[in-house]
Amino acid sequence: MAIIDQKITENSALYNGDCIELMESMPEDKIHLSIYSPPFGGLYHYSSNDRDLSNADGYDDFFEHYSFVVSELNRITHKGRITAVHCTDIPTSNTGDDSLIDFPGDIIKLHEKCGWRFIARHTIWKEPLWVRNRTMTKNLSHSTIVNDAAYCGVASADYLLIFRKKGENKIPIAHPAGFEYYAGESPIEKEYEQFKNMEGDQKLNKWSHMIWRRYASSIWDDINMARVLPFQDCKDPDDEKHVHPLQLDIIDRCVMLRSNPGENVFTPFMGVGSEVYGAVIQGRKGIGVELKTSYYRQAIKNLEHAENDMTYRQNEQISLF
C-alpha cells in the first residue's frame, strides 16, 4: 500500500497511508520525539480497513501488530530521546458487570521488550460525570450506587507513558529561558506573573518554576478536556463509537518538556492532526501519518490554521475552537 496522499510544508508533513510503510522508508535517528494514542485494542473501531490496528482479531493479535510500530519507532528515534504513549485501562464490556484490562501495563511490557526504557507515567484525571456523558458507561452513573454499588465503576484515568530510547542523548533538551507559558485550565497564581520572560539566572524564575512543578507532577488534574481540535465533520457513517482527539494541553506539555524548537515530532496515528498541530504551534517540525482518509483531510484543515497563526499561545482564544 503506497502513500495515498501527502501534504508537505515548511513546518509539517502529513501523509495518508500505513504508518509502518512510512516509517520503514524513514532513516534512523530521524525523530526527536514521538507522541500518540495507539488504537485502544478492542475499545474503538476507527475504520473497516484491514490494516487498521483496531480491527485486529483479538487483544493478542493487536499487540503482535502493534509491536512492529513500537520497534520501528525505536529505530527512527534518536538515541536517548523520548516516545510518549497516551492510553487508558480498557473495559471488557459496557454491560455494568465488566472487568478492566491493564492496557497501559501491556504497553509498558512491549516497549521494554522492544528496547525502550520506561521512565515516567503521568496520570490524567477525568471528571466522572464528563466521562459518563461522553461514553454512556452503564456502571458510571449515580443510579448504580443507588441500586447496587457492588456494580459501580470509576472514571478511569488516562495515562501518558514516557519511554526513553537506550543510548546517550547527544543534543540536550535545554530550556535556557525556562517555561514562558502554561498549558492547562488552572491559572498560575498572579503573584508569579512578574517573573514571566525574566532575564538572568533562570533558577530564580518563579513563574517557570511553578509551571515546571505542574508538568513534573505524576498527577495531571489541570488538563482542559474540552481543548481539542475539530473532529466532528470527519466522522464517517461506519464509525462505531464517539471518537475524541487527544487534548492539546497534554500534547503541548510533552512537546515543550521533551523536545527542542526546530526538532522533528512524529505521530504514527495522526487522527485529525492534534500532535502535529501541537508540534507546529510550539515551533517544531510536525510529521504525521493517518490511515483513514477523512481524518487525514480534517488534519490538513487543522494544520492550515496552525501554519497561518504561528503566534498562537494556549491562553488566547481563537476562532478554531
pLDDT value of residue 10: 92
Count the Cβ atoms, other than its own, within 10 Å of residue 141: 18
Q: Would the pTM count as exceeding 0.85?
A: yes
d(CA 18, CA 1): 7
Strands of 5-8's sheet, edge to edge? 5-8, 12-16, 285-290, 264-267, 31-36, 77-88, 158-165, 116-124, 219-220
Strand partners, 71: none
Instruction: Name the region of 29 (left: φ>0; alpha: ψ -120 to 50; beta: rest).
Output: left
Q: Which three cell numbers mark 267? A: 505521530
Q: Which three cell numbers mark 156? A: 478511569
| Residue spans per domain, the chain | 5-124+156-308
CB–CB of 41/90 below 8 Å? yes
- Which residue's C-alpha cell is 516509517? 23
d(CA 48, CA 217): 39
pLDDT value of residue 316: 42
Query: What DSSP character marks residue 235?
Result: -
pLDDT value of residue 244: 73
Buried b / exposed e along 57-96 (16+ C-beta atoms within 10 A): eeeeebbebbeebbbbbbbbbbebbbbbbbbbbbbeeeeb
Residue 213 burial (10 A CB sphere; 0-12, 13-18, 19+): exposed
Q: Which three cell numbers mark 300? A: 490538513
Residue 219 burial (10 A CB sphere; 0-12, 13-18, 19+): exposed
**CATH 3.40.50.150 is right for the domain spanning 5-124+156-308:** yes
CB–CB of 281/312 below 8 Å? yes
- Which residue's C-alpha cell is 502554561? 182
Number of helical (H) and strand (E) elements in the chain, helices listed first? 9, 11
**Which CA distances in Å does 303 have to 17, 88, 270?**
18, 27, 12
d(CA 239, CA 252): 28
d(CA 244, CA 227): 11
Q: Which three cell numbers mark 296? A: 487525514
Chunked mean pLDDT (size 10), the chain, 321 residues: 88 95 95 93 54 70 92 98 95 69 96 97 92 79 84 88 97 92 91 89 91 96 92 54 79 97 97 96 96 93 77 38 25
Residue 146 burial (10 A CB sphere; 0-12, 13-18, 19+): exposed
Strand partners, 86: 160
